[in-house]
């Protein structure tokens, strides 16, 4: 008898009791998703709002004022000061009173009216590279909008009505919190695997309960699944908390099929939990297994999954590296399900990779587990 339901149930109950009685780890398991969502939602917010902007409008024409009002009217820029020239602008930016400076030349309006190309000088404080880059992106976006408007006006004067509005798909506001919730789901699961799964078998070896346990008829599958099931339940609870919080606090919509999300999450969760168990089984030391789980489970999920850093922007060798971590497939699928609402037919390749990973972990964990003393 490889799999006895009664023994499995006994193992599951025992593991549940361990988790429920150890209120610290239980608290962490529940608190971590909440903390991560709030922390990442606010701190990793990659949107810049109200960038202090200084304007030197040397043109002083309706055309130049329209450009300035475009800056001031957007949520991203706040025209906080107007200066007379380049020198004032420089001193303002040195004092960090302005992060962006816009200098509109004297001949701005004339050139536009003549239909000639014209230039607007934009100075960006690059000392904080990230902020600088984003400011630059916004400025470029604005210039596109302004150009389009000009083109539209030109066309309209010919009597044709065109209303052109640039639009970013799926994340119209390009709100970065939208990206965060799917990423957090992956991280929460990696943390649970690292924190709870990686210590559970090792703890039994360290305290000596394993010696007693393996003297009973318990089988490897009963032991590993007995430990897996309670952790899986906690992982699912965390997913629900994360999705709900994402919606409640940041208004992140869940566009996809909840059943599909649940299905994909189950596969990932199973894979990372068995990865944690595998480490625990192999290392037999709680601290060691825990740290390796953090380094090989949590960190790649954070860095190499495409959650924080875009995979396409990584150097090629690192891009290849991302393929061996399951988080890559999971985060890609989550973004698709969550934000695009796509079905399995679109994401099945990623899903197959994830299945393969999970299967390997289950088999490896069970093979490594020896019901013998060494």
Partner 1 sequence: MDGGVFAVSADGITKRYGETCAVENVSLKAGRGGIYGLIGPDGAGKTTMLRVIAGILKPDSGEAFVCGHSSEHEQTAVKNSIAYMSQKFGLYPDLSVLENIKLYADLYGVEKHGMRERIDELLDFSYMKPFKHRHAGKLSGGMKQKLQLICALVHKPEVLLLDEPTNGVDPVSRRDFWRILYGLVAEGMTILMSTAYLDEAERCNVIGLMHRGKIIAEGTPEEVIEKSGIKVISVKDGGDRSLVKRLKSYIGSDRVHAYGDRIRVLTSDIDKDVEKLITFAPEAEIEPDRSMLEDIFMSIGGGADADENILSLIADGAGGKTGTALEVRGLTKRFGDFTAVNNISLTVPYGEIFGFLGPNGAGKSTTIKMLCGLLPATSGEGMVGGVDIVHSPETIKSKIGYMSQKFSLYEDLKVYENIDFYGGIYGLTGAELAKRRDWSLKLAGLEDRKNLMTSELVGGWRQRLALACAILHKPSIVFLDEPTSGADPASRRLFWAIINELAGSGVTVFVSTHYMEEAEYCDRLALIFRGDMIAMGKPSELKTSQMQDKIIEVLTSNPFLHMEALSKLDGVLDVSLFGAGLHVRTADAEGLNIKKYFADKHIDAQVQRIEATMEDVFVSMIEKADGGKK
Q: At what angle do helices 286-293 and 258-283 cross, to 10 degrees?
A: 140
Q: Quick one: 49 exposed, middle or buried, by C-beta within 10 A (0-12, 13-18, 19+)?
A: exposed
Q: How far is the C-alpha of 253 from the C-alpha of 255, rounded, in Å?
A: 6
The three-class DSSP label of residue 77 is: strand
Cβ-based nearer residue to partner 1, 119 or 211: 211
Q: Does 62 bind partner 1 (CB under 8 A)?
A: no
Q: Which stretch binds partner 1 (CB under 8 A): 18-26, 118-126, 156-164, 259-267?
A: 18-26
Q: Which stretch binds partner 1 (CB under 8 A): 17-25, 257-265, 273-281, 302-310?
A: 17-25
CB of 205 to partner 1, least distance (A): 11
At residue 56, what are phi and psi to the nearest 5 degrees? -115, 95
The pattern of x and - marking residues 170 through 209 that bind partner 1 according to CB under 8 A reads: -------------------------------------xxx
Q: Does 10 bind partner 1 (CB under 8 A)?
A: yes
Q: Does 14 bind partner 1 (CB under 8 A)?
A: yes
Token output for 144: 């596109």
Question: In the range 203-262, which residues lie near partner 1 by CB under 8 A?
Answer: 207-218
Cβ-based nearer residue to partner 1, 24 or 161: 24
Q: What is the DSSP letter of 312?
A: G
User: From residue 102, how far is each of 66, 107, 123 by CA, in Å?
Assistant: 13, 15, 6
Please select the residue that binds partner 1; options are 13, 233, 248, 287, rule is CB under 8 A. 13
Q: How far is the C-alpha of 171 from the C-alpha of 358, rounded, in Å?
A: 31
Total residues contacting partner 1 by CB under 8 A comes to 28
Residue ranges that bind partner 1, judged by CB under 8 A: 1, 4, 6-7, 9-11, 13-14, 17-18, 21-22, 207-218, 371-373
């Amino acid at each position: 008898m490889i799999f006895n339901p009664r023994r499995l149930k006994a193992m599951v109950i025992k593991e549940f009791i361990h988790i429920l009685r150890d209120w610290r780890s239980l608290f962490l398991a529940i608190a971590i998703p909440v903390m991560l969502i709030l922390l990442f939602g606010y701190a990793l917010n990659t949107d810049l709002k109200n960038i202090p902007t200084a304007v030197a409008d040397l043109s002083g024409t309706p055309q130049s004022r329209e450009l300035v009002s475009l800056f001031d009217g957007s949520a991203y820029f706040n025209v906080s000061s107007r200066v007379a020239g380049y020198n004032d602008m420089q001193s303002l930016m040195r004092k960090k009173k302005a992060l962006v400076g816009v200098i509109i030349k004297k001949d701005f309006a004339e050139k536009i009216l003549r239909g000639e190309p014209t230039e607007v000088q934009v100075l960006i404080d690059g000392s904080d590279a990230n902020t600088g880059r984003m400011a630059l992106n916004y400025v470029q976006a604005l210039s596109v909008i302004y150009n389009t408007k000009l083109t539209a006006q030109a066309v309209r004067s010919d009597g044709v009505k065109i209303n052109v509005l640039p639009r970013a798909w799926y994340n119209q506001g390009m709100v970065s919190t939208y990206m965060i919730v799917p990423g957090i789901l992956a991280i929460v699961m990696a943390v649970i695997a690292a924190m709870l799964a990686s210590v559970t078998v090792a703890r039994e070896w360290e305290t000596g309960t394993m010696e007693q346990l393996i003297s009973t008829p318990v089988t490897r599958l009963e032991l590993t699944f007995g430990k897996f099931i309670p952790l899986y339940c906690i992982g699912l609870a965390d997913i629900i908390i994360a999705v709900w919080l994402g919606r409640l606090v940041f208004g992140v919509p869940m566009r996809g099929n909840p059943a599909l999300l649940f299905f994909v999450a189950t596969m990932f969760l199973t894979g990372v939990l068995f990865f944690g168990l595998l480490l625990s089984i192999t290392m037999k030391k709680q601290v060691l297994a825990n740290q390796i789980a953090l380094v090989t489970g949590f960190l790649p999920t954070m860095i190499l999954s495409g959650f924080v850093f875009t995979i396409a922007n990584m150097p090629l060798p690192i891009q290849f590296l991302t393929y061996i971590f399951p988080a890559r497939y999971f985060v890609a699928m989550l973004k698709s399900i969550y934000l695009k609402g796509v079905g399995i037919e679109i994401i099945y390749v990623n899903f197959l990779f994830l299945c393969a990973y999970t299967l390997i972990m289950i088999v490896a964990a069970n093979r490594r587990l020896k019901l013998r003393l060494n």
